[in-house]
Amino acid sequence: MKRVRTGKNKYLIIIFILISLLILVTQGCTASSATTSRTTVTTTRASTQTFTTTTTATTTSNTIKTTTSTTQSVTTTTGTSTPLSTSTTNGQVEATTFEGTNLTPIKNQLLNGISGTQNINQATYYLAIEGMVDHPITFTYADLEALPQVSVLATLDCVEGWSYTAKWTGPSLSAILAQAGVQSGAVIAIFGTADDPDGFTSLDLSYINTNNIILALKDNDITLPAANGFPVRVVAAGKYGYKWAKWVTSIDISSNANFMGYWESYGYNNNGDVNGPAGQ
């Protein structure tokens, strides 16, 4: 009988040991699972924090850049006044004041054209400086953007009696002509346009140089809309609107002081001075 009990005791001991081992293994798996779960959660949180931090840094950087750009605009173009905005076009904010003057919103600027709005492809556009120059030059739109930009306040007066005032920005025409090297004897610049390639109008070189005339790429800090002359229009300050050539594709430097542009050939005064005679 004692042998039987001893045998049974041995079996019970073995079973107890097996059960104990099973419990230990189960707890180990559970602990491992819990550790893995905690690791996963930790990794997820770390990833989320990194993403949030990156987003915040990017947003902050963009804000700083925008603020810097705005500050520079105020410092260099508007003095102590801060430009307000009425519209945004492709991320560009339209200026409403410049040098203490209220600007005419682009939507309220009246327009004229001899053949309607000209739509020019920026990618294929170029401006040719030709005629009486030592170095004929061709500028792409990007080339013009890369030149030093000048902002001026100017009012366009139409012979019909309406007018509007805007902030115009673009490269100096005098600087462009200096690159080309104007030859002796040249007296005028003839502006060929998309709607009149042979010469829509002209301006005296003396007037261009004295008044630092610019070729506008922007109107109130907005890239020129097609109807306003994109990609380039002449800002002929002090001249009637028919001297403000739009959609300019060429500038021919000439000695022909008697050249007549489109409207001039119909009797408009060749000088086009706002305070001068309307006719020839």
177/230 Cα distance (integer angstroms): 21
141/217 Cα distance (integer angstroms): 9
**Residue 185 CB partners (closer than 8 Å, separation 6+):** 132, 255
Would strands 248-254 and 126-131 be described as parallel, antiparallel, or unpaired? parallel
Give CATH for domain 94-266: 3.90.420.10
| Residue 260 near residue 269, CB atoms below 8 Å | no
168/43 Cα distance (integer angstroms): 54
Kindly report the number of other CB atoms within 10 A of residue 158's CB atom: 15
Whether the upstream peptide bond of residue 148 has omega within 30° of 0, thus cis, is no
SS (H, E, C) the chain: CHHHHHHHHHHHHHHHHHHHHHHHHHHHHHHHHHHHHHHHHHHHHHHHHHHHHHHHHHHHHHHHHHHHHHHHHHHHHCCCCCCCEEEEECCEEEECEECCEECCCHHHCCCCCCCCCCCCCCCCCEEEEEECECCCEEEEHHHHHHCCCEEEEEEEECCCCCEEEEEEEECEHHHHHHHHCECCCCCEEEEEECCEEEEEEEEEHHHHHHHCCEEECEECCEECCHHHCCCCEEECCCEEHHHCCCCEEEEEEECCCCCCCCCHHHCECCCCECCCCCEC
**In this predicted structure, what is the pLDDT of residue 93?**
96
**In this predicted structure, what is the pLDDT of residue 78?**
28
63/59 Cα distance (integer angstroms): 6
**Residue 119 CB partners (closer than 8 Å, separation 6+):** 226
Tokens of 138: 């061709």
Can you tell me which residue has the tokens 């120059």? 133
pLDDT tens series, the chain, 280 aa = 444 445 555 566 666 666 666 555 444 443 333 333 333 333 333 333 332 323 333 333 332 222 223 222 222 222 322 333 345 567 899 999 999 999 999 999 999 899 999 999 999 999 999 999 999 999 999 999 999 999 999 999 999 999 999 999 999 999 999 999 999 999 999 999 999 999 999 999 999 999 999 999 999 999 999 999 999 999 999 999 999 999 999 999 999 999 999 999 999 999 999 998 877 7
**In this predicted structure, what is the pLDDT of residue 219?**
98
Which residue type does 30 have?
T
**Residue 187 CB partners (closer than 8 Å, separation 6+):** 204, 205, 206, 254, 255, 256, 257
| Residue 254 near residue 188, CB atoms below 8 Å | yes
Give the length of the chain. 280
Domain residue ranges in the chain: 1-77, 94-266
